[in-house]
């Protein structure tokens, strides 16, 4: 599944949008860590924008997902921009979409998203996007 509404659509009027997208990330077990970019660092660095995480295709028995944390780092400092332990129900037809605005006091070179799955043998898929300005 790809994003129907891209991060560029969400950030209309936000300025020069730099989209970073990571799609079809397989999730399984309880703690799932997604690092963006998968290798290297943002170039140019990021300081404000939006993070969008779409989790869908829940499998197993009674799967749920919580957006445990979203952090940005400049390689030295780390800033938490979102996080909670609220369990959201997933299924083959029920998904979760998280949209988090951010403005940082650092020039971020990476982002780490932690998703926690629960249920019996839970699985899901995630699409992640960052729309940002420098």
Confidence of residue 134 (pLDDT cuts 50, 70, 90): low
β-pairing, 46-73 with 110-133? antiparallel
Query: Does position 2 have pLDDT exceeding 60, yes or no?
Result: no
- C-beta separation of 43 from 84 below 8 A: no
pLDDT confidence band for 32 (50 / 70 / 90)? very high
Radius of gyration for the alpha carbons in the chain, expressed in angstroms and rounded: 15
Domains and CATH numbers, the chain: 7-133 (2.60.120.1310)
pTM score, whole prediction: 0.86
Task: Average the pLDDT over 93-99 and give the result.
Answer: 94
Kindly report which listed range (13-22, 74-83, 99-108) carries the lowest average pLDDT score. 13-22
Question: In the chain, what's the furthest Cα-to-Cα distance?
Answer: 43
Question: CB–CB of 129/52 below 8 Å?
Answer: yes
């Amino acid at each position: 599944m790809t994003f129907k509404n891209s991060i560029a659509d969400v950030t209309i009027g936000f300025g020069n949008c730099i989209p970073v997208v990571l799609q079809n990330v397989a999730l399984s077990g309880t703690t799932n860590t997604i690092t963006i970019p998968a290798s290297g660092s943002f170039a140019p660095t990021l300081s404000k924008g939006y993070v969008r995480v779409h989790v869908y295709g829940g499998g197993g028995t009674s799967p749920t997902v919580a957006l445990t944390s979203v952090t940005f780092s400049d390689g030295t400092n780390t800033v938490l921009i979102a996080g909670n332990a609220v369990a959201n129900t997933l299924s083959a037809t029920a998904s979760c979409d998280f949209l988090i605005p951010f403005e940082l006091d650092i020039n971020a070179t990476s982002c780490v998203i932690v998703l926690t799955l629960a249920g019996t043998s839970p699985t899901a898929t995630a699409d992640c996007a960052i729309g940002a300005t420098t």
